[in-house]
Amino acid sequence: MEEAERSNKELVLRHLYETTKAYYANFDQRPDFEAAYQLAQDELNAQTTESEFFVICSRLLASLEDPHIRLVTPDSTFLTFNYLNYERTVDLARIKNHYLQDLYSENSRAVYGRLEQNIGYLYLPDFTDWTIYNQPPPEIQEAMNALRSTSGLIIDLRNNDGGSAIYAQALAAYFTQNQLLWHQSFNKKGPLPNDFDKAYQWFVNPSIHYYYNKPVIVLTSRYTVSAGERFVLAMKLLENATVIGQRTAGSQGSVRGFEMLNGWWFSLTFEKILDADGHNWDYLGIAPDREINTTLSQFPEGKDPLLDEAIQELGH
């Protein structure tokens, strides 16, 4: 009976490995998955319990160090994001109490208002719940309308955990007067290293609402992931935008889910993203224009050094 259980787990593990090999998009950027699979095989034995097998599978997936990857069972969930210890670096209470002079709105989509020197501030926790093609959600349209007369704008993505690339595209549209080649995407579709479909070119077109022609600073951290990173790619194409903070999380592609042979479920990044110049920022993360690695735990009481830096730059 124990040998049969081992054999079943070996099949499940092999299927997990083969599915990952077939559909994960960025092996050329990531740590050695073959070595991790060999280690997982070595750890498996006739006495391996379900909870121990969950740990083995989690370690195998975690070896890719991709914050998009998760493993879900009826009893447990493994999130690579937590494994990587990426830190949220925005304390909204601190910003509201010490920086915002006029708070226009606070909702699940955004916090926005004015700072000193008529500088606008827009905090976006994610890019989720997009519904209308080529337009951001109504709450974000309201935010951009309220911030239209500001002398400069800080877009805070330090806690942004992604969502819809279309939403990010629609917001980026406010900041250009010309069509921009934003990036290219390639979907992984088979077991061979070059089994990708044809490149899809993404563009940012000028917004149907208005053009924000003032200086913009985007704040980033290692927590900025997925669609948040794609928004950063768009802003780095603009002469009037500057990115300050940490490198982003390093996983810009879209995600799909797969069922394992034992009924468990896992997710993989199946889409490779190349920026407008053909560079792949996977794993390393998108480099800011000015790198500042101070984390929330290092902030002085009542202060946000990254926000201070942005205010100082826009105030000149």
Domain range list for the chain? 2-81, 92-252+271-315
Phi, psi of 189 (to 5 degrees): -135, 10
- Residue 98: which H helix or E strand, with range? helix 92-98
Amino acid at site 13:
L
pLDDT at 132: 65
- For residue range 154-212, list pLDDT tens digits in order: 999 999 999 999 999 999 999 999 999 999 999 999 988 899 999 999 999 999 999 99
Cα separation of 177 and 240, whole Å?
12
Cα separation of 43 and 208, whole Å?
57
pLDDT at 31: 84
**Section 86-113 average pLDDT:** 89
Are 141 and 173 contacting, i.e. CB atoms less than 8 angstroms apart? no
Amino acid at site 293:
N
Cα separation of 236 and 172, whole Å?
11
Cα separation of 97 and 78, whole Å?
35
Local structure of 224: helix, strand or coil: coil
Q: Is the pLDDT of residue 83 over 50?
A: yes
| Distance linking the first and last C-alpha atoms of the chain | 74
- For residue range 64-75, list pLDDT tens digits in order: 999 999 999 999
pLDDT at 5: 55
DSSP H helices in the chain: 2-23, 33-43, 50-62, 80-84, 92-98, 138-146, 165-172, 227-235, 305-315
Closest CA to 147 of 100, 180, 182: 100
Q: Is the pLDDT of residue 261 over 90?
A: yes
**Section 143-148 average pLDDT:** 95
Report which DSSP code applies to 183.
E
Cα separation of 143 and 105, whole Å?
8
CA 206, distance to chain mean position in Å, is: 24
Local structure of 241: helix, strand or coil: strand
Closest CA to 13 of 32, 33, 30: 33
Are 139 and 153 contacting, i.e. CB atoms less than 8 angstroms apart? no
Closest CA to 81 of 244, 255, 231: 255
- For residue range 92-104, list pLDDT tens digits in order: 999 999 999 988 8
pLDDT at 85: 87
CB burial of 31-46 (b: ≥16 within 10 Å; e: otherwise) equals eebeebbeebeeebee
pLDDT at 1: 43
Are 63 and 80 contacting, i.e. CB atoms less than 8 angstroms apart? no
pLDDT at 119: 98
Write the CA distances from 33 to 18, 65, 219, 229, 286, integer angstroms: 11, 10, 32, 24, 23
pTM of the model: 0.93
- For residue range 14-28, list pLDDT tens digits in order: 999 999 999 999 998
Cα separation of 14 and 32, whole Å?
16
Cα separation of 36 and 181, whole Å?
37
Q: Write out the CATH class of domain 92-252+271-315.
A: alpha beta
- For residue range 33-60, list pLDDT tens digits in order: 999 999 999 999 989 999 999 999 999 9
